[in-house]
């Protein structure tokens, strides 16, 4: 298995502040030489997701990225105290033991701290049922920790505030250390 990393983004919104978090983590990993691929679930064919088309070329390709990754980063905004429904539709299409042996890093963002435990109570049990056993310390952020910057262009940019960037950097560092350890042991 390689040291590749896949990010699964469960945001249905192209201008979500979650994208600022994903961009930050992707850049940090890239600087350390780790190849990262991103699955943006909302760009997968909706018919394939809704009708559970396991054999669809798009789903097979996405699942292949997960299968070949050493680490999976699951990113989602919090809606109704849980991760998004679009993310769940994709998770349901992963093989039953599709996360076995993988490092998993959850990244969530919500409107308030009230849903701080959503990673532990809504996401982790589902992922554990799919073989995930080694979780990197997840990061829960609030919307006010990521600024959305509109500069007049069609591209939305983001600025991650210092406190959040420190926590994200610590989780990225833990992920890198675990990947390095696994490489040395294999």
Q: For the chain, what are the domain ranges?
A: 5-185
167 pLDDT band (50/70/90 cuts)? very high
pLDDT tens digits for range 104-163: 999 999 998 888 889 999 999 999 999 999 999 999 999 999 999 977 777 889 999 999
The domain 5-185 is placed in CATH, from the list 3.40.50.300, 3.40.50.360, 1.10.3720.10, 3.40.1190.10, at 3.40.50.360
pLDDT tens digits for range 65-74: 999 999 999 9
Mean pLDDT in residue range 34-62: 97
The CA distance from 141 to 76, in Å, is 11
Q: How many CB atoms lie within 10 A of CB 6?
A: 22
The CA distance from 17 to 80, in Å, is 17
Cα atoms found within 13 Å of the Cα of residue 173, Cβ hemisphere only:
6
The CA distance from 99 to 133, in Å, is 8
């Amino acid at each position: 298995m390689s040291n590749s990393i896949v990010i699964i983004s469960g945001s249905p919104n192209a201008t979500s502040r979650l994208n600022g978090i994903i961009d930050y983590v992707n850049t940090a990993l890239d600087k350390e030489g780790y190849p990262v691929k991103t699955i943006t679930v909302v760009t997968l064919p909706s018919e394939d997701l809704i009708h559970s088309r396991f054999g669809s070329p798009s789903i097979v390709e996405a699942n292949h990225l997960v299968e070949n990754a050493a680490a999976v980063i699951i990113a989602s905004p919090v809606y109704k105290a849980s991760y998004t429904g679009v993310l769940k539709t994709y998770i349901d299409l992963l093989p039953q033991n599709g996360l076995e042996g993988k490092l998993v890093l959850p990244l969530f963002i919500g409107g308030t701290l009230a849903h701080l435990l959503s990673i532990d109570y809504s996401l982790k049990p589902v992922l554990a049922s799919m073989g995930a056993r080694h979780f990197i310390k997840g990061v829960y952020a609030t919307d006010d920790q990521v600024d959305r910057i509109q500069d007049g262009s069609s591209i939305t940019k983001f600025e991650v505030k210092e406190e959040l960037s420190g926590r994200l950097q610590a989780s990225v560092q833990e992920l890198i250390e675990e990947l390095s350890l696994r490489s040395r042991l294999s």
